[in-house]
Chains A and B, each alone.
Chain A
Amino acid sequence: MTRRAALRRGVFGAAALALLDGKRPVAAAAPADTRAKSVIQIWMWGGPSHLDTFDPKPDAGSDYCGPLGESLATNVDGIQINAALPRLAQQADKYAIIRSMTHGVNAHETASYIVQTGRHPDRLVYPCAGAVVALFKGYDQGYAGIVPPYVVLTEPQGRFSEAGLLGQRYKPFATGGNPSREPFVVEGIVAEGIPDERQLARRDLLHALDSLGRAMPGNEQFARLDACEENAYGLGEARRLFDLNVEGDEMRDRYGRNTFGQSCLMARRLVEAGVPYVTINYKGWDTHKQHFEIMKRKLPELDQGMATLLQDLADRGLLDSTIVWWGGEFGRSPKVEWGAPWNGGRQHYGKCFCSVVAGGGFQGGRVLGASDARGEEVAERPVYPLDLIGTMYELLGIDPDGPLPNPRGLELRVLPEPGDGVPSGGRLSELI
């Protein structure tokens, strides 16, 4: 392949094609007229409190609300969210709140798995939504973006293997680095301190010293490695894509000059460039202790970054084709633990929590389901992770009931069938 072709294909495209094993799963192409083209998943790693965000319970008293006991009217009549999120209150017409999420599991890894795969643990490890989207809207369907179809900002979750049984090929590209630092050092794409000329010279040196490669001209393994290198060197465009300075200071300030805010801006740029799935792995929500101190610091950051993202996507006409999915593996216990050792903490809570979806065909300005007076139980319309993911897949043109091609050749479906014993409250037809 010529260098120009490699550039056109982008940093990753072609080598993936070279990975033919005869076992490569091939997914059916998505219909062209689907509403959603991309997903931005704001993954609230650790589990955010539902009471302190999108399901406030001001009447439950300070045993439940601590200092965050106020709710705030949004720009949609009848919808209130926690007063700690004033900017998001002004965006409520763009998103729908699901207040009756449930799966009942309080362990991080298992809950993460359930929420992101729609499956319950059994003998197989299924891929999470990002890997499924990479399978159905990635290289196999001719995706030719300059970065891989599934990107994580900035670190992989690491707690379960995202691609599951689909294998390495569908794992996310984790950027590393920190988008709020200067420069945003994306591992492998933006190298610090080596001028281009020296880069070229040392590359020639490498090729001149490739004695084993020259001794084995027909080796398939080596041919694959060479193809990967060609692609890896198609750097120019990707470097520009990750350069947040081209957005200007005003735009960067709007998102908030912190890791989360700049990750939201980066996610918008990636979606603009056609990347179908971006996860912002937003850490720090596992607040057993010092919960309210941490919320005081983090909620404004969340508020600014996510509100700006929604407004910006809408301004650019991207919200219609981009699903924004906010949520963690569970909520947090509604009753605050004031005693030692927690001293004002909230524990894991999988029985009832909330998620937010926007764009890509999801109707904004709505609330689906409800929790009880204290946010402890689902009061109406339980929504299980399977229901949310299934609806997302439908909007993306991925058939949730269709086959899931996989390298082991097992006969699997994208999501479980009713008889598989995974609870479901039905797809979210109320929101589309």
Chain B
Amino acid sequence: MKKAILAVTVAAAALSAYAGEGPGGDPFRSAESAVPGTRIDELVLAELTARGIEAAQPSTDAVFVRRVYLDVIGTLPRADEVRDFLEDTHPDKRAALIDRLLEREEFADYWSLKWCDVLRVKAEFPINLWPNAVQAYAKWLHDAIRANMPYDEFARALLASSGSNFRVPPVNFYRAMQGRDPSTIAAAAALTFMGVRLDGWPEGRRAELAAFFSRVAYKPTAEWKEEIVLLDPSAMTPLDAVFPDGQPVHIEAGEDPREVFAEWLTAPGNPYFARNIVNRVWAWLMGRGIVHEPDDIRPDNPPVNPALLAYLEEELVRADYDLRQVYRLILNSRTYQQSSIPRSDSAEAETLFGQYPVRQLDAEVLIDALCGLFNSRESYLSMIPEPFTYIPDYQRTILLADGSITSPFLELFGRPSRDTGLASERNLQPTDGQRLHMLNSTHIQKKIEGSWRLRQLVETSKGDTERVARLLYLHILSRYPTAEETAVVKQYFERGDVTRAEAAADLAWALINTKEFLYRH
């Protein structure tokens, strides 16, 4: 760690120009795009141009590197990673970085977290998966994402597995919900894999879908909290059912209706399956679904850009349900890489993706970023139900599998309760309590004051305030300061009534409280 910091120190000092900056010292916007236009851009621009909306300018390298780390791996780039990227002169360096990030271990960490939200992974009330099953389920999800399991296979495993909740972890899909009746299961399956809220469907269609889940049985074992999910062995009759698209199907006795449903759902051309997931991925990366909200797909809530949605669906099927390919397409587009600073006053500029939307960091990502910057740790534990769960304090918060294990910080910053699986459970609206906490709590103040890394950075900079500014900007905001910002910092250090260490702590405090830090932008 020490080595890395020193390496950055030297390189930063050697840099004469501020790399990653746009014209006129603009840290956020570039005059020219660093990447070629793609099919996504054509489709987005077609909608924007039709309404006379001008898309935002391209982002600078510095904005891009921070954004893509946060979006793809839920992790702040280290200072040396930022510097390396800014100094890299290859014309395709953005695409290369995207490819590297998609292979990082943290990709699986961060996207497991997102999937655990969708799938309500939680040991306690009201989901009651219990700790052992939570660990098994979360590990299975992590492994599947890490191995890039094709998405159709992933869905089939969750929908059609049978066996023990400890040994066949995907069966926990049928346990992670607030009820075990066919209609509750149908609602969870529809929300997860079709992006549909079943309470909006007419009674008859709801019952048709529930029929596919009418033969799910649960059986306890002699092991504490172990449970087998299986096809109801007492169901000896054939079943006539109707798929959500209106097609009837005859299911023989002994055949598992869940498998029949999963086959229908994941067949190419299914009207719900690919559409739901590409819309979700788009919403995760672009802050807003093409159908918004991303889990409320219905005929009277049409996509704002149908051609774009259709294109992404086709690409997913063409890539044999390789989700990373869809990430790659979106991340490499100019649309994703544009600035968050709008060029149009139109409200549609945001809904039609004419700028990258700013949004608050996820609670888990924020606390990890703070811990990483100031080399501090958070500890999590659960005293009930037994067995006690202790999480080692060096483990990052994005890896916290169990939604029941929490902290006042995570609660305050809008972590979802994982009761429903709705995307809107994650609350990214600022609150007064959050602001109080960031500005004035001992929790945050202690992280800053207790940071050996910050102390070391000040000490090794001797009396060079510019260097302190450059390093703190690089670590915290993933860019170098502008000339004006450097001047402001120098002035603060020269006030005289605070020590250099205090001034550096205040600068760190100020930077983590800027919008630039608190928001993805």
Contact = CB atoms under 8 A, between A and B. Distances in A.
Contact of A210 (B345, B482, B514): B514
A19 B434 CA distance: 14
A192 B435 contact: no
Interface string B103-135: 000000000000000000000111010000000
Contact of A221 (B341, B345, B430, B507): B430
Contacts of B187: 123
B439 A229 contact: yes
A148 B433 contact: yes
Interface in B301-345: 340-342, 345
Interface stretch (A201-209, A248-256, A266-274): A201-209
Contact of B417 (A125, A148, A210, A213): A125
Nearest to A238: B436
Interface residues of B, number: 64
B28 interface: yes
Contacts of A189: 436, 440
A343 B234 CA distance: 46
Contact of A231 (B435, B441, B445, B514): B435
Contacts of B509: 202, 206
Contacts of A216: 340-342, 358
Contact of B358 (A112, A164, A219): A219
A156 interface: yes
A158 B488 contact: no
A168 interface: yes
A29 interface: no
A155 B125 CA distance: 18
Nearest to B123: A109
Interface string A112-135: 110000000111110000000000
B179 A123 contact: yes
A112 B305 CA distance: 46
Given A158-B406, A189-B440, A201 B433 contact: no
B432 A232 contact: yes
B514 A213 contact: yes
Given A19-B429, A122-B179, A206-B514, A201 B437 contact: no
A171 B414 CA distance: 10
Nearest to B27: A211
A156 B407 CA distance: 9
Interface in A192-245: 192-194, 197-198, 201-203, 205-206, 208-213, 215-216, 218-219, 221-222, 224-225, 228-229, 231-233, 235
Contacts of B152: none
A174 B408 contact: yes
B206 to A, nearest CB: 13
Interface string B399-434: 000001010100100100101100000010111111
Contacts of B384: 108-109, 159, 286
Given A122-B178, A158-B411, A188-B440, A232 B435 contact: yes
B445 A191 contact: yes
B179 A109 contact: no
Contact of B431 (A168, A206, A212): A168
Q: Which of A11, A19, A21, A188 has the most CB of B within 10 A?
A: A188
B498 interface: yes
A232 B513 CA distance: 13
A169 B184 CA distance: 27
Given A159-B404, A205-B488, A225 B179 contact: no
B470 interface: no
A284 to B, nearest CB: 11
Given A121-B125, A211-B482, A215-B28, A187 B411 contact: no
A201 B439 CA distance: 13
A225 B408 contact: no
Interface string A151-179: 00001101111001101110101101000
Contacts of B420: 125, 165
A198 B442 contact: no
A370 B485 CA distance: 72
B441 A191 contact: yes
Contact of A121 (B178, B340, B442, B502): B178
A222 B514 contact: no
B62 to A, nearest CB: 12
Nearest to B406: A158
A27 interface: no
Contacts of B404: 159
A40 interface: no
B125 A123 contact: no
Contacts of A113: 125-126
Given A125-B419, A209-B485, A235 B432 contact: no
A198 B429 contact: no
A203 B443 CA distance: 18
B93 interface: no
Given A159-B404, A211-B482, A222-B358, A229 B435 contact: yes
A209 B514 contact: yes
A198 B502 contact: yes
Contacts of A192: 442, 445
Contacts of A206: 509-510, 513-514
A15 interface: yes
A363 to B, nearest CB: 34
A212 B515 contact: yes
24 contacts: A11-B436, A12-B432, A16-B431, A108-B385, A109-B384, A124-B178, A125-B420, A148-B432, A148-B433, A191-B441, A192-B442, A198-B497, A205-B488, A206-B509, A211-B485, A211-B514, A212-B519, A212-B521, A213-B514, A215-B28, A221-B430, A221-B519, A228-B435, A233-B439
Given A113-B126, A216-B342, 10 more contacts: A16-B432, A110-B125, A112-B125, A123-B184, A125-B419, A160-B125, A174-B411, A209-B514, A213-B514, A232-B439
Closest 7 A-B residue pairs measured CB to CB? A188-B436, A109-B125, A161-B417, A206-B510, A228-B435, A212-B516, A202-B506
